[in-house]
Amino acid sequence: MRSPRAGKLLTVDQAAALVQEGDYLAIGGIWNHNVPMALVRALVRRGVGNLTLSSSPASGVGPDHLFAAGLVRKAYLPNVTFEHLGTAPHVRRAIEDERVTLVECDEASLIGGYRAAAAGLPFQPVVSLQGTALADGADWLIPVGRDGTVEALAAPPLSPDVAFLHAHEADQFGNVRHLASTFADRLIAKASRTVVVSVDRLVEHDDIRSAPARVTVPSYMVSHVVVSPFAAHPAATHGAYLADEDHLRTYLDAAKDHDAVGDGWRQYVSRYIDGGEREYLSAVGGLDQLASRLGVQP
């Protein structure tokens, strides 16, 4: 008799407990879209640090939370902004103050590192770096060529210990569906050892079986699934709800305190993070108000 298929569901705090001191963590999404913020908040509550951090080629609110909490030691982040709302304040301060080592990388070399890891290769050539200033300053890249000449630079494998991704929905077995672009999420999943995907809602496995082509990250790439409504908030989930620009501005206003762990950040954590996800959703207006204000789709 065949054993029942095991589900992959975890709570948000169980998922955060997978990240250990000194781990390499990757965060998916792009800028302030499809960011696994419920998982990020849980990691801030847990306080595990000394992390190496990377993201998709462009990121924003997720990494900024982890920098504000002092959890990051080293980062591969070629592009971190809040888009039209401004720069990522805690990332900027930590790098300016040399509290975090920022690895010189661009979007192509970051993707090259993920590709090398996903394919099990020792490096991935990134020919677009030739002739750029980055080629002179990025000592983590590998020169490759023939007969003693350097023909290209290559990225070594970037293989995160844990990846946090976000999509709109999945079944209990880890078949994930994005409603729009997957950004670099599939590649990050392939490159990582443990993959945790937060989703806004759980769907039945029969629903997945009825439309297999809609699966964007299949279960064999996914270690665990966390179900939490508005799990990307204050970022957006593409095809489901918009980014909450009012709350992003609240966050940025709190970050204006010059000290990266000053009163503004501490007050933000006390009000929005320390109590857990249920309290967070209540503090930002509750499910009904969020659905009305951000245009949530069924």
pLDDT confidence of residue 148: 75
Q: Which domains does the chain have, with CATH numbers?
A: 9-104+159-264 (3.40.1080.10)
Q: Which residues of the chain have pLDDT under 70?
A: 1-3, 257-262, 297-298
pLDDT confidence of residue 69: 95
Rounded Cα distance between 88 and 66, Å, is 11
pLDDT confidence of residue 260: 47
pLDDT confidence of residue 257: 67
Distance, CA of 178 to chain centre = 15
pLDDT confidence of residue 217: 98
Q: What is the pLDDT of residues 120-158, one digit of tens each?
A: 999 999 988 887 888 777 889 998 888 777 778 999 999
How is residue 80 annotated by DSSP? B
pLDDT confidence of residue 261: 52
Helices marked H in the chain? 12-16, 37-46, 61-68, 89-96, 107-119, 134-137, 185-191, 205-210, 245-254, 263-272, 277-283, 287-294
pLDDT confidence of residue 130: 80
pTM above 0.75, yes or no: yes
